[in-house]
């Protein structure tokens, strides 16, 4: 507890963090786990904040937690204060020295296994004093983490310029509620998510094609100029809901004239998806960077390439617009483009 110049008691940051976590989770145990505090300590911090402010913030029952009308209003203020404090700390860290301190990178599961070796090698070699922390999560969770300040930078599949009519380094401008939604990509230049979260900037790295993965005896295996129209009739296996690669595959099917895909069999990851193909349950679409790793694990699989322009996705770094370390992230993007030139991708130039 601190005392202001006029003797008025002021809330502590710990109290504000505790209340903000309860407001977000509406559950004391989950809120305590989210901020690494014991449940009794969190409850005490919220009670102390209520005493300091002189209002009831939380209505406690035996089964659930509700925000009072005052809690609803003040939770917005508390979140804003914490975000400002986070920005202050972030800027101070950046001013000390570039590429030092903690750097929290979020990566989607359909990118992490195939690009992280390159990313980690670059960071170790070029930025030895950077404390890199990697978080593999689905897109919606990563975007929320970036917006809330839990993460510093994301490695995602995004919409290419042709799909969203904007420069390759662009700021999303739609409502934050559409973060997990996406519009289908146009043409064949690529697809990804136009996440629609205000205040986020994309820095593109590369575009990569999708290929069709089939069992060894499939008639399309080995084809090199495959028309997309074949997707209308194939038994296409997909990832579970929540994976952006699932949405990208469905976009490709829609462009090929297929209304939907019956999800009779799904998988939580690409490794399982490829094993299902190897077992003869169907075919699937893989990004080129995943092909060597995943088909090598399964063995006896074949691939087929689409005619140009092949369906593809764009991979980019995503940061908060105006981030204190924006110049470092741009420099990292340049280093990653150089390092990824040997991958089966098309590097996006700096000014693309």
Mean pLDDT on 168-197: 38
- Average of per-residue pLDDT values in the chain: 83
Q: Residue 101's pLDDT is what?
A: 84
Please give the structure tokens belonging to residue 331: 């420099």
User: pLDDT exceeding 90 applies to what percent of the chain?
Assistant: 52
For the full predicted model, state whether its pTM sits above 0.75.
Answer: no
pLDDT band at 177 (very low <50, low <70, confident <90, very high): very low
Instruction: Report, as an integer, the average pLDDT of 330-343.
Output: 94
Report residue 324: phi and psi, to 5°.
Answer: -60, -30
Residue 178's pLDDT is: 36
Q: Which of 47-61, 187-201, 284-298, 307-321 has the lowest mean pLDDT?
A: 187-201
In this model, does residue 97 exceed pLDDT 90?
A: no
Predicted pLDDT of residue 186: 31
3-state secondary structure 63-114: CCEEECHHHHHHHHHHHHHHHHHHHHHHHHHHHHCCCCEEEEEEECCCCHHH
Question: Is 60 a residue whose pLDDT tops 90?
Answer: no
For the stretch 205-235, pLDDT in tens is: 999 999 999 998 899 998 999 998 888 888 8
Q: How confident is the model at residue 268 (pLDDT cuts 50, 70, 90)?
A: confident
- The C-alpha torsion from 266 through 267 and 273 to 278, rounded to 10°, is -70
* Residue 255, Cβ density class (10 Å: 0-12 exposed, 13-18 middle, ≥19 buried): middle
pLDDT at 233: 85
Q: What is the pLDDT of residue 189?
A: 36
pLDDT tens by residue, 31-41: 999 899 999 99
Residue 263 — very low, low, confident or very high, per pLDDT cuts 50/70/90? low
Query: Is pLDDT above 60 for 345?
Result: yes
| Band of residue 100 on the pLDDT scale cut at 50, 70, 90 | confident
Distance CA 299, CA 322 (A): 46
In tens, the pLDDT along 322-331 reads 998 899 999 9
Cβ within 8 Å of residue 166, ≥6 positions away: none
Does residue 151 or residue 129 have the better pLDDT? 151
Q: State yes or no: pLDDT of 337 exceeds 50.
A: yes
pLDDT value at 48 more than 90 = yes
Percent of the chain exceeding pLDDT 70 equals 84
Instruction: Using alpha carbons, list the distances in angstroms from residue 326 to 50, 202, 203, 254.
Output: 38, 11, 10, 37
Chain segment 112-136, per-residue pLDDT in tens? 999 999 999 999 999 998 999 999 9
Given pLDDT bands bounded at 50, 70 and 90, which one contains residue 12? very high
What local confidence, expressed as pLDDT, does residue 180 receive?
35
The gap between the terminal CA atoms of the chain, to the nearest Å, is 51
pLDDT level of residue 22 (50, 70, 90 thresholds) = very high
Residue 352, pLDDT > 70, answer no
């Amino acid at each position: 507890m601190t005392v202001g110049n006029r003797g008025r008691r002021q809330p502590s940051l710990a109290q504000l963090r505790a209340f903000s976590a309860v407001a977000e989770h509406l559950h004391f145990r989950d809120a305590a786990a989210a901020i690494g505090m014991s449940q009794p300590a969190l409850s005490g911090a919220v009670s102390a904040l209520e005493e300091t402010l002189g209002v009831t913030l939380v209505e406690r029952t035996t089964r659930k937690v509700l925000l009072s009308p005052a809690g609803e209003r003040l939770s917005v203020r508390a979140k804003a204060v914490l975000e400002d404090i986070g920005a202050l700390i972030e800027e101070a860290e950046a001013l000390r020295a570039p590429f030092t301190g903690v750097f929290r990178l979020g990566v989607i599961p359909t990118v992490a296994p195939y690009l992280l070796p390159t990313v980690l090698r670059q960071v170790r070699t070029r930025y030895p004093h950077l404390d890199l922390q990697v978080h593999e999560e689905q897109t919606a969770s990563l975007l929320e983490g970036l917006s809330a300040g839990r993460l510093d930078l994301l490695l995602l599949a995004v919409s290419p310029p042709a799909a969203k009519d904007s420069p390759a380094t662009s700021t999303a401008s739609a409502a934050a509620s559409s973060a997990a939604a996406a519009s289908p990509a146009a043409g064949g230049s690529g697809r990804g998510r136009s996440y629609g979260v205000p205040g986020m900037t994309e820095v593109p790295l590369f575009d990569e094609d999708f290929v069709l993965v089939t069992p060894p005896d499939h008639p399309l295996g080995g084809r090199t100029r495959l028309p997309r129209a074949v997707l209308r009739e194939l038994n296409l296996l997909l990832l579970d809901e929540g994976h952006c690669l699932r949405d990208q595959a469905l976009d490709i099917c829609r462009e090929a004239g297929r209304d939907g895909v019956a999800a009779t069999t799904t998988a939580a990851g690409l490794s399982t998806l490829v094993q299902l193909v190897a077992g003869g349950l169907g075919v699937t679409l893989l990004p080129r960077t995943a092909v060597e790793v995943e088909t090598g694990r399964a063995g006896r699989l074949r691939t087929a390439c689409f005619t140009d322009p092949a369906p593809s996705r764009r991979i980019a770094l995503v940061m908060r617009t105006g981030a204190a370390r924006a110049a470092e992230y741009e420099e990292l993007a340049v280093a990653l483009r150089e390092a990824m030139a040997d991958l089966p991708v098309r590097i996006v130039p700096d000014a693309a």
